[in-house]
Structure 1
Amino acid sequence: MPKYRVRDADTYGHAIGILLLDYRGPFIPGDVGNASTYRYPVLYKLVEGLTFEKVLSGDQDAEEMIVDAARELERFGVRGISSDCGFLVQHQQAVAKAVKAPVFMSSLLQIPYLAMMFDAERPIGCITATRSPSSNSLLEMAGVDAGTNVVLRGMENYEHFKWVILEEGGEMDSDQIEREVVAEAKDMVAKHPDMSALVLECSLLPPYAKAVQDAIGLPVFDFITMIDYFYQGSHRKAYSGYY
């Protein structure tokens, strides 16, 4: 039998550590914040005081507590560290520098990879929780070249999404959220018929990715595709079959 040493950890066996905003909303299956979304164990760490408003404002005072939380996840033995807000890409470099585990804080990190897959003239769509004045700088922080053709849209003008997600309204009608996200995606494709793929920035949008894909017929990427991608690379399995 193998020999094991004791670590300074309360629990063991978590593949991915996920930093959570201090946010209250319904995290349904498919959401980054719902553990049943994954086919492998994840460990959550709430960053107390890190509200969505602080993230949107670019409050750099929050960086220390984000880094401290990431270090705690690493101490617990996670193989990689992510988050539940794409706007936390503004802290990607600080967290990556502070820990040895791989860090992928935002679904936006997939855009440079996708940009290499398609003709540069074809736009990549991106739906965010809200289109803020700093959105373009967030793309730069995610490694997106200034010349990359990205069509960026926000969900802030959709009544139910705004109330439930942005204003933490409480009770969510997931069918209505789905209708709103699908409507936005279809409008993007109608205005940009040569769009190559779509990235859903917000961590609450993966539950609707299939409905969006069915509606627009394009590849759709989100937080879960990114986290799964890392998991597959860090947990390789032997192949078996016939030859």
Structure 2
Amino acid sequence: MRANIEEAPLGVLCLDSSFTKPLGHLRHPDSFRHPVRYRVLEGVDIPRLLHAPGDALRDLLLEQARQLEAEGVCAIAGSCGFMARYQAQVAEVVSVPVVLSSLTLLPWLAVVHGGLGRVGVLTADAGALKAQHFLGAGWQGSLPALEGLQDGSEFRQVILEGQRDDLDMAAMAEEVATATRRLMRKVTLDAIVLECTDLSAFVDVVRREARCPVYDIVPALDLVIRACGGSR
């Protein structure tokens, strides 16, 4: 089916969450220069994806991806980097490009920056990010340096646990900056990938602290849309 680029070039499979999505976030429509079709996976929240994935969730992603393709999108994305474990399965059942996670950037960045050992990952929860997520994203080497936001009170309460919907941007920015500094102390890095889509709105904070290139899913999706003939 020919993608309806003008109506909705990008379809996003979204977790069921209600916290504030700031500008720069994948789920803020003004983060893109083209229309976006959002498909919320009802009942699938962050705790379930991180700690209780399984065949039922995989089948739901496959079903919803097929529906988005039938509706005419020219590319499909995921709203959480932990969807990487399902990247290959979803990409196999549709004929449009699929980017469920920014972790899919890692094989490319290993070439661009001369080896994965020089590329670190800032993630929502370092303990929950496992080898299968990297395998799903196409990476088969040693795991990169990781740092998570799971110990930050603002990040944990609003995003990981869903205790409230109001997001304190200043508090979140400070937690992101602190996590970035921890990551940079672990190893000398040439670049950082933001696994968590909730960190895309804070890419400038990470870049300022790290003083190196920082990659997230939003510009990666812009590249895919351009390749499909969408917004320029």
Q: Normalization by structure 1: what TM-score?
A: 0.87
- What is the 5 A alignment of 1:21-170? 21-56=15-50, 57-120=52-115, 122-147=117-142, 150-168=144-162, 169-170=164-165
Provide the C-alpha distance between the structure 2 equivalents of 1:37 and 1:27, rounded to a whole number of angstroms: 10
Provide the C-alpha distance between the structure 2 equivalents of 1:69 and 1:232, rounded to a whole number of angstroms: 23
Deviation at 1:202, TM superposition (A): 0.8
Deviation at 1:178, TM superposition (A): 0.8
More moved, 34-43 vs 129-138: 129-138
| 1:214 maps to amino acid | R
Question: Retained in 1: the 8 A contact 2:33–2:231?
Answer: no
Q: Which has the higher contact order (CA 8 A, sep 6+)?
A: 2
Greater Rg over alpha carbons, structure: 1
Provide the C-alpha distance between the structure 2 equivalents of 1:111 and 1:45, rounded to a whole number of angstroms: 26
5+ residue gaps, structure 1, are 1-6, 239-243
Secondary structure of the 1:67 match is helix
* Higher percent of residues as helix: 2
May I ask how many residue pairs the two structures share in their alignment?
228
Deviations 1:138-182 (A, max 9, x none): 1121111223x6101111011111111101122110111111111
The percent identity for this pair of structures is 27
Question: Retained in 2: the 8 A contact 1:123–1:195?
Answer: yes
Deviation at 1:197, TM superposition (A): 0.3
Aligned to 1:3: none
Provide the C-alpha distance between the structure 1 equivalents of 2:145 and 2:108, rounded to a whole number of angstroms: 16
Question: Retained in 2: the 8 A contact 1:206–1:222?
Answer: yes
Matched, 1:199 2:197: no
| 2:45 maps to amino acid | T
Question: Retained in 1: the 8 A contact 2:147–2:182?
Answer: no
Deviation at 1:188, TM superposition (A): 1.5
Question: Retained in 1: the 8 A contact 2:6–2:230?
Answer: no
Aligned to 2:184: 189
Structure 1 vs Structure 2 CA RMSD? 2.1
Question: Retained in 2: the 8 A contact 1:12–1:77?
Answer: no
Deviation at 1:225, TM superposition (A): 2.1
Deviation at 1:18, TM superposition (A): 0.4
Q: Normalization by structure 2: what TM-score?
A: 0.91
Provide the C-alpha distance between the structure 1 equivalents of 2:171 and 2:214, rounded to a whole number of angstroms: 20
Provide the C-alpha distance between the structure 2 equivalents of 1:87 and 1:105, rounded to a whole number of angstroms: 8
Provide the C-alpha distance between the structure 1 equivalents of 2:86 and 2:116, rounded to a whole number of angstroms: 30
Deviation at 1:122, TM superposition (A): 4.3
Distance 1:237 1:130, change over 3 A: closer
Provide the C-alpha distance between the structure 1 equivalents of 2:158 and 2:43, rounded to a whole number of angstroms: 20
| 1:37 maps to amino acid | S
Aligned to 1:171: 166
Secondary structure of the 2:212 match is coil
Deviations 1:92-125 (A, max 9, x none): 1221121111111101000111011123374211
